[in-house]
Amino acid sequence: MRVAIADDGALFREGLVMLLRAAGHEVVASVADGDTLVERVSADPVDAVVLDIRMPPEPDGGLATAERLRALRPETGILLLSHYAETHYLMRVLEIGTEGIGYRLKERVAGVQVLDDTLTRIAGGEIVMEPSLAKRLVQRPAGGGGPVGTLTEREHDVLRLMAEGRTNAAIAKELFVSAKAVEKHVAAIFGKLDLPGDQTVHHRRVLAVLAYLRAGRVDG
């Protein structure tokens, strides 16, 4: 895979370059700010970029750069890295795109295997989110506004587990129900949240989770 990196922390950036090379990827650009990265990637397209959220242009150059890049080259996978796992940043990431994009903590991609897996999933069109964020979402006070409020208690449980990135089989095990029952709940959730039927199942799951995040925001 051809990859470009932008991070204003030189030590961490150089480390990532070496990890990527160890995983067999070609690093075509390693720069300290978003604007330079966009310049380089426009002239020489890549399969994926790795962006630090907090870098120039300030205050959150990674997000601004991801936005520009998505408009310029929608097919390029984007991995955003941060020292902070914030729901707010996750929502901004999902507003930039719900395919081929990811948001992870820096120290959680500090291995050849995990970095390779993360980038491969993103380049394959998946969305990858930091597991600790999903966990925090589950623990926060539940709200009831909007279409999410029309879900039954059981559907709400299923949606929370979807937000944790669990598969139907894992959800079934957790809730002590059959996989078929989970499938029915998931279909009901999609229906109630009015999610477009022409999307892939994975994409619809992400949109459902996004609706869940948004509901938490306005419920207060």
Partner 1 sequence: MNGIRRDVRLRPVDPGTCALRRGLERDLNDGPAQRVAALSVELGLFAADLTDPALGARVAGLQAALAVVLAELREIGGALYPPVLASDGFEPALRAVAERHGLAIAVRGEQVAHLDADTADATCLAVADHLRSVPPETKVDVQVRAAAGGVRVDVTEERVRCG
Question: Which residues make up the interface to partner 1 (CB under 8 A)?
Answer: 9, 11-12, 15-16, 18-19, 22, 54, 59-60, 63, 83-84, 86-89, 92, 105-108, 110-112, 115, 136, 139-143, 216-217, 219-220
50 or 208: CB nearest partner 1: 50
Q: C-beta of 51: minimal distance to partner 1 in Å? A: 14
Q: C-beta of 144: minimal distance to partner 1 in Å? A: 10
Q: 16: part of which helix (H) or strand (E)? A: helix 10-22
Which residues, in sequence order, are CB contacts of 34 under 8 Å at separation 6+? 6, 51, 55, 56, 57, 61, 62, 64, 65, 68
1 or 179: CB nearest partner 1: 1
Task: Report how far residue 51's alpha carbon sits from residue 33's, in angstroms, rounded to the nearest whole number.
Answer: 9
For residue 157, the tally of other CB atoms under 10 A from its CB is: 17
19 or 161: CB nearest partner 1: 19
Token duo for residue 154: 């059981």
For residue 50, the tally of other CB atoms under 10 A from its CB is: 29
Task: Report how far residue 171's alpha carbon sits from residue 108's, in angstroms, rounded to the nearest whole number.
Answer: 24
CA 172 vs. chain centroid, Å, equals: 24
Task: Report how far residue 162's alpha carbon sits from residue 181's, in angstroms, rounded to the nearest whole number.
Answer: 14
Give the largest Cα separation in the chain, rounded: 53
Q: C-beta of 63: minimal distance to partner 1 in Å? A: 8
141 by Cβ neighbours in 10 Å (0-12 / 13-18 / 19+) ranks as exposed
143 or 146: CB nearest partner 1: 143
Question: Which amino acid is located at 168 in the chain?
Answer: N
Q: C-beta of 103: minimal distance to partner 1 in Å? A: 14
78 or 195: CB nearest partner 1: 78
Q: C-beta of 114: minimal distance to partner 1 in Å? A: 8
Q: C-beta of 75: minimal distance to partner 1 in Å? A: 27
Question: Which amino acid is located at 12 in the chain?
Answer: F
144 or 191: CB nearest partner 1: 144
